[in-house]
Structure 1
């Protein structure tokens, strides 16, 4: 880009100089062909200038990351909406976490497991969506050992997305609740919290977000 700016400055300076030369009154007895030749030279320099400008624009466009262009081109079928290259559906009805997952599966989708959690949160805010929505994460089914030396590690790994990946601890607003028999905890997205994930009893009925993969 610095090389282009240098060439651009030279081209503009040369063009201005020639244009100024054209502004000098030409004596009537001068050869008309000289004026025509100067005009052609000015036009040629202008052509170089615009060609450089077009090439620079193409370079800047081609410099965009390929994954950004592909995300922008993702087409989501109705009623799903494109959010940073992923397709989401924000429900209008209230369901428990298990019911919400069944509903999403019935749409050929799954409860949301977003790559860009805060992109999804921004979408909910922009749609004037609910304060809380179920997403595709819950307490792991696997019972962890009670040994105190692995307590912190097991607490981090007990929260999983539905694709079985671990939910990053830094995404939670509050500290995880203690395990309680027959009291399973699921994960909700809150648009009024940062970090955006919170814990909620899975039997609570609320709106949810499906994701088409």
Structure 2
């Protein structure tokens, strides 16, 4: 759009200068006629630029919903808009299960961010806790019968609360071995990169809710 606008403006000025130089220098006898022609040219230029401005406004208004769609979405208090998503950083300490119950009670759930590093940056900017629960955990799975199936099951062993698999590229450390009667959940660490770390789910700490 900026290139097209510049082209219209250049054409407009070219037309204006061409029209101006096309007007012969009037003598004393036809000065009134020359003034009339100049007024006509100016009026035509005004119409041209008015139409150009209106077209530009329509073009801008047409793009505005896409520009402001997600990033400027409003979030009800106490949630904050972080890159188009609504998050709440808790002030109390709860276990992972208790934290999820708390988030659900707010009409939300533990965080499943599309932009994990954006959420980490928000926690850092708010001087938030070093570690916060997010909505991912270890899920119970049946023992595999073959090696290839085992590898696949190991990859899908870690899931977000929406059912999607956690991308291993976000793991700070290697996944722990399965421990009987000891479920492992994910915390977001603001002091580590990648930011996701494994932790026993029954440890009380702060958490992050997300309004979907």
Task: Identify the TM-score tier after normalising by the shorter chain.
Answer: 0.7 to 0.9
Residue of structure 2 equivalent to 1:99 = 98
Is this contact kept in 2: 1:184–1:201, CA < 8 A?
yes
Instruction: Provide the secondary structure at the position in 1 that maps to 2:198.
Output: strand
How many angstroms does 1:136 deviate by? 0.6
Describe the shift of the 1:153–1:179 C-alpha distance in structure 2 as closer, same or farther (beyond 3 A): same
Describe the shift of the 1:3–1:79 C-alpha distance in structure 2 as closer, same or farther (beyond 3 A): closer
Instruction: Give CA-to-partner distance per residue, 1:98-145, whole Å, 9 cap, x none.
Output: 121121122121111123323322322332322321101100023433
Residue of structure 1 equivalent to 2:126 = 127
Describe the shift of the 1:42–1:166 C-alpha distance in structure 2 as closer, same or farther (beyond 3 A): same
Instruction: Provide the secondary structure at the position in 1 that maps to 2:187.
Output: strand
Residue of structure 2 equivalent to 1:188 = 187
Q: Identify the range of structure 1 (123-132 vs 134-143) with the bigger mean alpha-carbon deviation.
A: 123-132
Residue of structure 1 equivalent to 2:87 = 88
Residue of structure 1 equivalent to 2:39 = 39
Q: Distance in 1 between matches of 2:88 and 2:4?
A: 48
TM-score, normalization by structure 2: 0.82
How many angstroms does 1:35 deviate by? 1.0
- Are 1:8 and 2:9 an aligned pair? yes
Is this contact kept in 2: 1:15–1:46, CA < 8 A?
no
How many angstroms does 1:170 deviate by? 2.1
Give unmatched runs, 5+ long, in structure 1.
none
Give unmatched runs, 5+ long, in structure 2.
none
1:54-203 paired onto structure 2 within 5 Å: 54-63=54-63, 66=66, 69-72=68-71, 74-145=73-144, 147-203=146-202
Q: Distance in 1 between matches of 2:124 and 2:53?
A: 40
Describe the shift of the 1:192–1:43 C-alpha distance in structure 2 as closer, same or farther (beyond 3 A): farther
Is this contact kept in 2: 1:19–1:42, CA < 8 A?
no
TM-score, normalization by structure 1: 0.82
Q: Distance in 2 between matches of 1:117 and 1:103?
A: 21
Q: Distance in 1 between matches of 2:126 and 2:160?
A: 24
How many angstroms does 1:206 deviate by? 1.7
Describe the shift of the 1:29–1:128 C-alpha distance in structure 2 as closer, same or farther (beyond 3 A): farther
Q: Alignment length, in residue pairs?
A: 211
